[in-house]
Structure 1
Amino acid sequence: MQIRQFTESDWPQVWEIVRSVVRAADTFTYDPAMTEREARATWLESPPGETVVALDGDEVLGTAKVGTNRPGPGAHVATASFMVAPVSRGRGVGTALLRYALEWARHNKYAGMQFNAVAESNRTAVDLYLREGFTIVGTVPGAFAHPTQGRVGLHIMYAHLSH
């Protein structure tokens, strides 16, 4: 598997992943009716952040975006988001993308990485983040309307990054 910066020719495959994840409405807080144009504006990160893809040959297995969590006095903390194609789950794609994002943040001298809204029902992601050094610093009860589980909490997760 190769992880590299997103290029324009990746968009059709990235859009398929984003569309499938967002329409499932079970992990991301994005509007399930998000249009392709809205998805591009949301997913494609501007510098100093970046959007990347995980590839197997020419096949996009997953994608991530990394950047600054908040501007100004909060600009020393990074954030990231990850999406893996449904057919590629369970193959280590999410782990590879997370490790890439953490290395990107360390390389760019961020003090930590914060995830603002991780659905507590997304056990695969929560368990991965915990394994890779994140802690749950708070949970907003009932803040995520899961399509089958009803209202579940949204975790705020943080990892301190040493340089």
Structure 2
Amino acid sequence: MLIREAEAGDWPRIWPVWHRIVSAGDTYSWDPGTPEEAARALWMGSPGRVYVAEGADGTLLGSACLTPNYGGPAAHVANAGFMVDPDRAGHGVGRALAEHVLAEAKAQGFSAMVFNAVVETNPAVRLWTSLGFSILGTVPDAFDHPRDGRVGLHIMHKAL
């Protein structure tokens, strides 16, 4: 697997994965009906960096974005988003992307990473805790899950 910084030309390969994940409505708090151009601005926009994970044959396996979570005097705290092609889940792509992005965040001078809204039923919670993230708190009943009803949103943190 190769993980590299994304280029503008990667968006057409990222979009189907982004759309499939967000439109499922069970892991991200973005509108499941987000149009492509708005999605591109959310994922590929400044001031962040975007990464892609590719298989040996060049197939897109997943993508991640890294950006400051706050601005000004708090701009040293990062935020990131991760999307793995659902057909590739369970094969270490998410962990590899996470480890890469955490190393990139540290190299770019971030001192911590915060996730603002991790759906508590998201299987990725296990990944984040295994990588040293802690749950700072949970906003109860904040997310309308399509199968589980209202569930909480975790706020998660890791010092880098």
TM-score (norm 2): 0.97
Shift of the alpha carbon at 1:12? 1.5
Residue in 2 that maps onto 1:37? 37
- TM normalised by structure 1 equals 0.95
1:61 counterpart residue number: 61
More displaced stretch, 5-14 vs 106-115: 5-14
Number of the residue aligned with 1:95? 95
Aligned to 1:4: 4
Inter-partner Cα distance in structure 2 for 1:82 and 1:90: 14
Distance 1:45 1:156 in 2: 23
Structure 2's unaligned 5+ residue stretches are none
CA offset digits 1:96-145 (Å, max 9, x no partner): 111111101110121110000000010x2100000000000010001111
Q: Deviations over 1:16-63 (max 9, x none)?
A: 00000011000000101000001100000424x200100013211000
Q: State the match for 2:109 in structure 1.
A: 109
Name stretches of at least 5 consecutive residues in structure 1 with no aligned partner: none
Aligned AA for 2:81? Answer: S
1:12-161 alignment, distance < 5 Å = 12-47=12-47, 49-56=48-55, 57-122=57-122, 124-161=123-160
Aligned residue pair count: 159
Q: RMSD of the alignment, in Å?
A: 0.9
Residue 70 of structure 1 aligns with an amino acid whose one-letter code is: Y
2-side partners of 1:9 and 1:110: how far apart?
27
